[in-house]
A and B are shown apart, each in its own frame.
Chain A
Amino acid sequence: NFMLTQPHSVSESPGKTVTISCTRSSGSIASNYVQWYQQRPGSAPTSVIYEDNQRPSGVPDRFSGSVDSSSNSASLTISGLKTEDEADYYCQSYDSTNWVFGGGTKLTVL
């Protein structure tokens, strides 16, 4: 079993770039795909990055994902921040068939 650790919150100004990290506690981050979800208040999570760095149709190319084996972490980068990007973001990976979630990061765009 492993855990995924995210910062509790990040904040940045509109137009800037923010990166949210997701660090795996044990085992290689590269051994299982990482997904990223956006969740706005009162709504279900929606995928913004899947399979480490793939962007679903309809998600702006301001969103990108990456994996870094040296730090055993995945990252979600959002460039050209907009106020509409303000939301909670969760990373998710697999432990065998089970899903493991990070604790979530609240992004504030101010």
Chain B
Amino acid sequence: EVHLLESGGGLVQPGGSLRLSCAASGFTFSSFAMYWVRQAPGKGLEWVSVISGSGDSTYYADSVKGRFTISRDNSKNTLYLQMNSLRAEDTAVFYCAKPGVEAPPRWGQGTAVTVSS
């Protein structure tokens, strides 16, 4: 069974940094691109970033480009999101997600990030 577990969220001051992790199990991690999606309080879902299965290709939403870095360690079945220069508008629950290929996508339970002084 696919399982995704995010960690690393918390309270950080504006301008600070945070590193999120997503531990994956139940599938061949390196075979799948992986996604980060966030949801600000009371708002909808926003795609943040995607990384290819090998880690060679990465893409970012304009709202985080230049501040966030997605990466993965296929030997540890773990996805990361390094977030720098955090702003109040980055406050959200961050989800990691596995896309589906002839199967439904799977999401983790999310980790909350609060940017506030």
Does A45 lie within 8 Å of B44, measured CB to CB? no
Secondary structure dominating the interface of A: strand
How far does the Cβ of A103 sit from chain B's closest Cβ, in whole Å? 5
Does A98 lie within 8 Å of B105, measured CB to CB? no
How far does the Cβ of B42 sit from chain A's closest Cβ, in whole Å? 11
Interface size of B by CB at 8 A reads 23
How far does the Cβ of B81 sit from chain A's closest Cβ, in whole Å? 15
How far does the Cβ of A100 sit from chain B's closest Cβ, in whole Å? 7
Interface residues of A in 28-67 (CB under 8 A from B): 35, 37, 44-47, 50-51, 54, 56
Does A50 lie within 8 Å of B103, measured CB to CB? yes
* Contact among B33, B44, B100, B108 with A101 in the assembled complex (CB-CB below 8 Å): B44
Does B47 lie within 8 Å of A100, measured CB to CB? yes
Does A50 lie within 8 Å of B50, measured CB to CB? no
- Point out the residues of chain A lying under 8 angstroms from B44, CB to CB: 90, 101-104
Does A47 lie within 8 Å of B104, measured CB to CB? yes
Secondary structure dominating the interface of B: loop
* Contact among A45, A54, A96, A102 with B107 in the assembled complex (CB-CB below 8 Å): A45
B77 within 8 A of A: no
- Point out the residues of chain B lying under 8 angstroms from A51, CB to CB: 100, 102
* Contact among A35, A96, A97, A100 with B105 in the assembled complex (CB-CB below 8 Å): A35
B115 within 8 A of A: no
* Contact among B35, B100, B108, B110 with A50 in the assembled complex (CB-CB below 8 Å): B100
- Point out the residues of chain B lying under 8 angstroms from A90, CB to CB: 44-45
Q: A98-B47, A99-B47, A101-B47 are in contact. Are A45 and B95 (CB under 8 A)?
A: yes
- Point out the residues of chain B lying under 8 angstroms from A37, CB to CB: 45
